Amino acid sequence: MENFEVLQTGNAKPIKMWTKGVPVEDAAKAQLQNIARLPFIYKHVAVMPDVHPGKGSTIGSVIPTKGAIIPAAVGVDIGCGMIAARTSLSADDLPDNLHAWRSAIESAVPHGLTFKGRDKGSWQNPPSNVDAAWAELLPAFETLIDKHRRLKNTNNHKQLGTLGTGNHFIEVCLDEANRVWFMLHSGSRGVGNAIGSYFIELAKKDMQRFFINLPDKDLAYFPEGSEHFKDYVDAVSWAQDFAQKNRALMMQNVVAAIQKIMPKPFAVDEEAVNCHHNYVQRENHFGENVLVTRKGAVAAWPGQMGIIPGSMGARSYIVRGKGEAQAFCSCSHGAGRVMSRSEAKRRFTVDDQIQATQGVECRKDVSVIDEIPMAYKDIDAVMQAQADLVEIVHTLKQVVCVKG
């Protein structure tokens, strides 16, 4: 028996949804139907259980295409994803009060927004490992800005190795055996945003120039072989490299910060995963080479490890892919929002946040109410809906959470 449902789309490509037992908004279904009508969609659109509306295309969708690419489907946080690493520490090694751990992490990794003239989200003077990583990224970036000068003055070097804002986070977690993990969520920061926004606008201009009408202007695309197609693919590839290095650098600095204050020596990377969930790449499916855009989705090839985080205060999962062909070997990237940030701030209070994050050392103030667990879908229902996509390897519960 198939574990997905098919959303009827008339003459458009089918939409296969792994959403049983999970609510899906009408706005998300409408966006999916718009995508399915595009002439270059390959086979069908695959929908993950954390699906919710995004800009142009839904978050939690897998969009295979032949001969075209949609910049807004990739989005502006190009390469956003997760990294997790298990340590040799156990719960018994942790101090009774974890505030010092949270403070050490907050000091080691710039996070947040500009505040009273001080940019908390960037390095003032990047450490040596950030400088070394930027030196590796610089040649390809210089090639990119030679062609697209508007991208020159972006936040890049000083944001490498930094967290950002919104739902980006750093956590200390315990698994089912009370072993200590470090886990974090971030992407390509300001430079990825600039690249995404720039090419989205170029694609819209191309649609106007060639008189191409779309069901949503944010579904503007580059046909393969067109003026900007290769430049966009190269730029996205570079931003994905930036994002992966960004996560690795933060993990290095988090580990170093805790090692400084932890009396007991410990090892890391006993198990480690670093995966994107906003990206595009060429893959082979059903015997054909296609472009696969995962917007809020994780690759889940047979045996491939991935990370599916819950909200702050909920469980997260380290998973192993089952390689479900109908899902284009994918799974969800998290729990998925059930309400907007503004709605969460309107509906919930600081007292609600305190209650929902009991036992977690984290900020409990008005500025993080939009990330309250109740603003997200039930992670257990999400995992049940995709039981044929992944198997759970580890179940994590956070004890420290640093939010951007």
Residue with tokens 């490498």: 160
> 23 — alpha (psi -120 to 50), left (phi > 0) or beta?
beta
Q: Give the angle subtended at the CA of 317 by the CAs of 313 and 319, to the nearest 5°.
A: 170
Q: Cβ–Cβ contacts within 10 Å for residue 123, how many?
A: 17
Q: Determine contact, residues 86/179, Cβ cutoff 8 Å.
A: yes
- Catalytic residue from among 44, 148, 185, 333: 333
> Rounded to whole angstroms, how far apart are CA atoms 337 and 340?
7
Residue with tokens 């940030």: 341
The gap between the terminal CA atoms of the chain, to the nearest Å, is 43
| β-strands 315-321, 15-17 pairing | unpaired
44 is catalytic: no
> 286 — alpha (psi -120 to 50), left (phi > 0) or beta?
left
Instruction: State which H helix or E strand residue 202 sits in.
Output: helix 189-209
Question: Which positions are catalytic?
Answer: 333
